[in-house]
A and B are shown apart, each in its own frame.
Chain A
Amino acid sequence: MRGLSNSVRCVTVIFVAMLMLFTSNNVALAKLSSKATKQQAVTTPQWGNVIVDAGASVSTNPYSFAWKEGIGVEITYVDLRNPGSISTTGTLLTVSTKDSNNSTKDASSLTLSACTGGTWNQSSNACSGTVTALGTVTNGSITLNVALAAGATSTIRVAEFQTKRAKWTSTLSVAVTRSQIRAATVTNS
């Protein structure tokens, strides 16, 4: 190669490389492969309950109610509603009752009842079915064992027992845990 110009050397190298390429048995052969593709959607439900005024639309704020001032019993009705997409078996209700000074001392207790198998007549406070006691709470939490299908509503009677004359306001908040929706399932299909 001595005595050759660089351009001739370059052409020679390219030529030899091409020669090796075309004559080699080591040509990279394309390998066959095949794919099969399918689509599938997966969705999950939403769970949770709300408390609103009887007949009112869904609100995601805690429910607040100002009781009339006066010793004795006062009654109101609220809707426990399931706006989710899966049934709930119960609800944890947390109640906070305070007077106008933001004090909880001697706060009124609330007794909650459902009308099972019927409806409440809110004028006469009568239940056309069976009155089911759900519990009594002052400041704290209780579990309301009320099963609600998705979109369903249960009207709850709330009776305030006022032992200290004051302007009490109750705030009701409801929570639904994983254990308060249906149990997990194994499905084959």
Chain B
Amino acid sequence: MRLALVAVIGASVVTVAGVGAFAGLNAKATATQTQGAGTLNLTTANNGNGFSQAVANLAPGDVVNRYVNITNGGTLASQGLTLKVGATGTATLITSGTGAVTNKALIIAVKSCSTTWTPATGVCGGVTSTEIAATPLSTFAAAQTFTTTTTLASLASLNLQIQVTLPDQAETSTDGVAPANTVQAGSVALSYEFFEAQRTATTTHS
């Protein structure tokens, strides 16, 4: 039995190795074929100030719209566009208060334009779509999925408006001192991370 098993294993190894060197006549026909792997290359470009300039002196109720284009520069189409925003800095601007703590943190929304945005006016020359509805900054710690544009063809771009809002909130400073849990004099470093995955794999016969 053991000898038989060893024989089976040995035969299998030979088969798997593909070294089918059997005696006999052989004829060969050779052809060359290039097999290029597809690529994905997601990039961003500012349209107007975009991410190149800080959002400064954001008072409660203020809304700042910035414009960026994301491009899939790869050879493959992509899917599953998401945006994740990391945030470090003043806690009251990152996470809203609960219970007796009433601070309201930053909110981010993403819209797209079927043509181009005019940064100075915020006007979209085509159709505006909501990609990510207004969402608390803390929620962006997990990637948020684009809801309208779910795929991006090779070399295609998406024209985005990134909207940063500090919700209006009542804060009274007394003798120059801000209240507890204030959103005043805050500073947050945001790290926007756009992500795309390759299109669904295909099996092609040709």
Output the nearest chain A residue to B167 by Cβ-Cβ distance.
A184
Is B110 in contact with chain A by the CB < 8 A criterion? no
Could you tell me if B169 and A41 are in contact, using CB atoms closer than 8 angstroms?
no
Q: Which of A15-23, A100-108, A111-119, A120-128 is found at the contact surface with chain B?
A: A15-23
C-alpha spacing A23/B12, complex, angstroms: 11
Q: Mark A11-49, 1 if CB is under 8 A from B, else 0.
A: 010010001001100000101111111111111111111
Chain B neighbourhood of A51, CB < 8 A: 175
Q: Are B5 and A175 in contact (CB under 8 A)?
A: no
Q: Is the CB of A40 within 8 A of B55?
A: yes
Answer yes or no: B109 CB below 8 A from chain A CBs.
Answer: no
B169 close to A178 (CB less than 8 A): yes
If the complex has contacts A4-B2, A29-B201, are A42 and B106 also in contact, measured as CB distance less than 8 A? yes
**In the complex, B150 has a CB within 8 A of chain A:** no
Interchain CA distance A37-B16 in the complex, whole Å: 45
Nearest CB of chain B from residue A79's CB, rounded to whole Å: 12
Q: What count of chain A residues pass the 8 Å CB interface test?
A: 54
> In the complex, what residue of chain B is closest to A189 when comparing beta carbons?
B49
Other-chain residue from A19, A46, A175 in contact with B174 (beta carbon distance below 8 A)? A175
Within 8 A of B (CB), among A45-76: 45-51, 58-62
28 interchain pairs, CB-CB under 8 A: A8-B5, A19-B16, A23-B16, A34-B42, A34-B78, A35-B194, A36-B70, A37-B194, A42-B93, A42-B164, A42-B186, A43-B54, A44-B58, A44-B90, A44-B184, A48-B174, A50-B175, A62-B175, A85-B185, A178-B171, A178-B172, A181-B59, A184-B61, A185-B62, A187-B64, A188-B120, A189-B66, A189-B120
A residues neighboring B (CB under 8 Å): 3-4, 8, 12, 15, 19, 22-23, 29, 31-51, 58-62, 83-86, 173-178, 181-189
